[in-house]
Structure 1
Amino acid sequence: MSIRLENVGIAVRDIEAAIAFFTDLGLTVLGRDTVSGEWADTAVGLDGNHASIAMLQTPDGSGRLELFEYIHPEAIETEPTRPNEIGMHRVAFAVDDLDASLEIAARHGCHPLRGVADYEGVYRLTYLRGPSGILVMLAQDLRGG
């Protein structure tokens, strides 16, 4: 039996803002659609499930995000996840230039929670709040590889 990670799904309040944020960071949109119907109700476990979706991919093709904005049932606002809470935590990206990535994030109003950390001279990394309060980790490998 084999297994591989297909994607990470993230519900957002504004799919256009989320797409703009992630594509500015370097992901590409593979496709967009609107999903509904009995199959969607069954798969997701919500009656009347209706959502706009977008599949995004990292430049190397190894990672995908599925963003979805609920049309029905109405999306439920929650407090943004904190780093120490149990459950879905964050999405992490390796970047070649952390400073340039943070400049892009700042254009979307997204800034580090506390600052940029240096992990033993191996990584520079930070957590920030992306669109819809999503925790995003950006990390730059300082070993040059």
Structure 2
Amino acid sequence: MGIRFENVGIAVRDLEATIAFFTDLGLSVLGRDTVSGEWADTAVGLDGNHAKIAMLQTPDGHGRIELFEYLHPEAIETEPTLPHEIGMHRVAFSVDDLDAALAVAARHGCHPLRGVATYGDVYRLTYVRGPSGIIVMLAEALQQG
């Protein structure tokens, strides 16, 4: 089973201001979209999920972050995480075989929050609750390239 690091997702209050910050640091915007619908609800495990998103990449092409601003449901403000607190939104990985990856996750007691979704003809994907409550996205490309 192959696996590689894909990106880290960060929910933000103001997408444009956050993009400006990261692009000023040297990242580039790879793309933007607005996501919603049944596939998004299933993948994320949140009914009515509707968000503006932007994918940013480091100059070397190896690191990516996905920023998202929730349009619905309304975002919940929390205190910033301290360095010694456990948790973050999620980490994402591309896998060659989603079913094999889910079998590995299940051996550790980790299962999809809702199920496996299909994003257009691009990915089969799901979120699982991983160790220490970390949300892990696993995605298999539908078209190999």
Structure 2 residues without counterparts, runs of 5 or longer: 90-145
| Equivalent-residue separation in structure 2 for 1:47 and 1:78 (angstroms) | 20
| Equivalent-residue separation in structure 2 for 1:76 and 1:65 (angstroms) | 20
The equivalent residue for 2:82 is 82
The equivalent residue for 2:15 is 15
User: Post-superposition shift, 1:66?
Assistant: 0.1
Q: Secondary structure at the match of 2:3?
A: coil
The equivalent residue for 1:45 is 45
- Per-residue CA deviations over 1:33-71 (Å, capped at 9, x if unaligned) read 000000000000111100000000000100000000000
User: What aligned pairs does 1:1-145 form with structure 2 within 5 A after superposition?
Assistant: 1-88=1-88
Higher relative contact order (Cα pairs below 8 Å, separated by 6+ residues): 2
RMSD: 1.0
| Equivalent-residue separation in structure 1 for 2:88 and 2:73 (angstroms) | 21
User: Post-superposition shift, 1:88?
Assistant: 2.2
Q: How many residue pairs align between the two structures?
A: 89
| Equivalent-residue separation in structure 1 for 2:69 and 2:37 (angstroms) | 16
| Equivalent-residue separation in structure 2 for 1:36 and 1:88 (angstroms) | 22
Amino acid at match of 2:70: Y
Q: Secondary structure at the match of 1:56?
A: strand
Structure 1 residues without counterparts, runs of 5 or longer: 90-145
| Equivalent-residue separation in structure 2 for 1:30 and 1:2 (angstroms) | 24
Q: Secondary structure at the match of 2:35?
A: strand
Amino acid at match of 2:14: D
Amino acid at match of 2:2: S
Give the TM-score normalised by structure 1.
Answer: 0.60
Give the TM-score normalised by structure 2.
Answer: 0.60
Q: Secondary structure at the match of 2:32?
A: strand
| Greater Rg over alpha carbons, structure | 1
* Percent pairwise identity: 88
User: Post-superposition shift, 1:2?
Assistant: 1.1
**Larger relative strand fraction:** 2
| Equivalent-residue separation in structure 2 for 1:88 and 1:78 (angstroms) | 12
